[in-house]
Structure 1
Amino acid sequence: MPLEIVRNDITKMQVDAIVNAANRDLQRGGGVCGAIFQGAGSGELQEACNRIGNCPTGEAVITDAYQLRAKYIIHTVGPVWRGGSHKEEEQLKDCYKNSLNLALSHGCESVAFPLISSGIYGYPKEQALQVAVSTISSFLMQHEILVYLVVFDKKAFQLSEKLFRSIEEFIDEHYVEEMDISFGTNRREAYELEDSMVLQSSQNLQEMIEHMDESFSERLLRLIDEKGMTDVEVYKRSNMDRRLFSKIRNNKDYTPLKKTVVAFAIGLQLNLQETNQLLEKAGYTLSRSHKFDVIIEYFIQQHNYNIFEINEALFSFDQPLLGT
């Protein structure tokens, strides 16, 4: 997907470029910076950085990745947190924008970021996350590149307490565990009824096939037209890869994953009824017995169709993310 949040060691990411949270002198540091230097080979990487010399706050420079799996390392210098009144947010946005532009100019199709400035530079993690997601998502509306936001552990990634509690309360109120449905004591009658239903189903199968309704792909394309949106607008708002969208457009019998259908529902800003109607075309529905579904219902009821914020919430509750 164009923007994916993953829990991983950034030095193990198989991408074209990984981003190093560097210092202004481009010297080996601690934390993410130290791990990247060690993984790449400290000697070679330090020599390359020394040839560049330095990097101002908010800017970005690039070197080879040497022993890492990536092709390049993009070094960007995040702001030191000084209370938020010294242009820290502007500088942090520049880190992401300049790094992404540098990646594109070197032909990169994928890039992995750490949460810049959220370590020893003291930028509050919640705010650092909001800047990262909003800046990257805005960039992706104009450009095609796969971006990973890599967090080492879940403690480094937190929703706002207010939002987390609100979603948690909604889940507690609406989530119901799936219950086993038994036939009761009269199993013979149940089996006979089931056999009868199978026979009737087979008799009507040919008629059903002959009168099939529009497919998922056909319904999706019709909705795009009805909403007055372009294909590009929809797949970008759905955090969807352009190539997958092309497959769906060109194959009326394409069967998507449930999370893909939900992503399109979010991109199209569908209400709950419209969302379930689109899901039905692919053989799915929203259920109160799945936390993923309840979280999606929460955001739709809140009229919040920012797919990146929804993915933040899904990530926090250990649920699959929306997109490809």
Structure 2
Amino acid sequence: MIKESLKSKLIKFISEGQAKELLFVTLNQIDAEEEPDDYGFFGHSLSNFQLNKLDKHFEKSKKTKSVGQYLLTLTTDRGIYSFNDETFGDALINKAYWSKLVNDKVSNHDKDKLIRISIFLNLNLLETTKLLQKAGFTLSEENSKDNLIIFCLEEGIYDLKEVEEILAEWNQRTLFSNVRTINSIN
């Protein structure tokens, strides 16, 4: 059961649509950092101008960190240098999966696992959004579960059990819904 003070904050957060505003600011921050190009109109044949823009786009994408590279940067920034099955204990991320993840060997990323890692690493909304985008996901103000995740990140709620309680209390699939050994987080 979540605390009444937290529950009232959450109700206010949702009713005032604060997730939408936070996501707008966060996405603008990401756009400003990455300086997206104006790709113009691509017809049946490409002009030299368009080819140059396309070249610049590919060069930029080569410089962008992958999911694995970004996660290694984040963990290094937090002083985590060694990984074993206990490293991500409550997040239920094992060493084999982590190794695949940071070496960019995961073909189909799992949004819930990435969010669990984000919460475990105490990532803020900006860092979590970047991580999810690199894996092809996003947080949406239209999605109730995402709203709750955004709230938790903004409030600094990094206890996975507390996040699970909030999701369950609001009748949302938890971050561990697809995990077979859910009892190990209790």
- Relative to 1, partners in 2 of residues 1:275 and 1:211: Cα closer, same or farther, differing over 3 Å? closer
**Number of the residue aligned with 1:286:** 139
CA apart distance, 1:313: 0.8
| C-alpha contact (below 8 Å) 1:217/1:254 kept by paired residues | no
TM-score w.r.t. length of structure 1 = 0.39
- Relative to 1, partners in 2 of residues 1:211 and 1:253: Cα closer, same or farther, differing over 3 Å? farther
CA apart distance, 1:231: 2.6
| C-alpha contact (below 8 Å) 1:235/1:241 kept by paired residues | yes
Q: Which runs of 5+ in 1 are unaligned?
A: 1-157, 177-194
Partners in 1 of 2:161 and 2:9 — Cα distance?
Answer: 18
Confirm or deny that 1:266 pairs with 2:119.
Answer: yes
Confirm or deny that 1:228 pairs with 2:79.
Answer: yes
TM-score w.r.t. length of structure 2 = 0.63
Deviations 1:230-252 (A, max 9, x none): 43465224333444323323434
Partners in 2 of 1:243 and 1:320 — Cα distance?
Answer: 25
**Number of the residue aligned with 2:161:** 308
Counterpart selection for 2:10 from 155, 158, 167: 167
Give the match's secondary structure for 2:174: coil
Q: How does 1:144-183 map to 2 (within 5 A)?
A: 158-174=1-17
Partners in 2 of 1:205 and 1:294 — Cα distance?
Answer: 37
Q: How does 1:128-143 map to 2 (within 5 A)?
A: none
**Number of the residue aligned with 2:67:** 216
**Number of the residue aligned with 1:319:** 172
- Relative to 1, partners in 2 of residues 1:240 and 1:284: Cα closer, same or farther, differing over 3 Å? same
- Aligned-partner residue type, residue 159 of structure 2: N
CA apart distance, 1:300: 1.6
| C-alpha contact (below 8 Å) 1:224/1:231 kept by paired residues | no
- Aligned-partner residue type, residue 231 of structure 1: F
Q: Which runs of 5+ in 2 are unaligned?
A: 21-39, 180-186
Partners in 1 of 2:100 and 2:135 — Cα distance?
Answer: 15
Partners in 1 of 2:120 and 2:109 — Cα distance?
Answer: 15
- Relative to 1, partners in 2 of residues 1:266 and 1:198: Cα closer, same or farther, differing over 3 Å? farther
- Relative to 1, partners in 2 of residues 1:237 and 1:227: Cα closer, same or farther, differing over 3 Å? farther
Comparing both structures, which one devotes a greater share of its residues to strand? Answer: 1
- Aligned-partner residue type, residue 159 of structure 1: I
Deviations 1:22-45 (A, max 9, x none): xxxxxxxxxxxxxxxxxxxxxxxx
| C-alpha contact (below 8 Å) 1:239/1:307 kept by paired residues | no
- Aligned-partner residue type, residue 140 of structure 2: S
Give the match's secondary structure for 1:274: helix
- Relative to 1, partners in 2 of residues 1:168 and 1:222: Cα closer, same or farther, differing over 3 Å? same
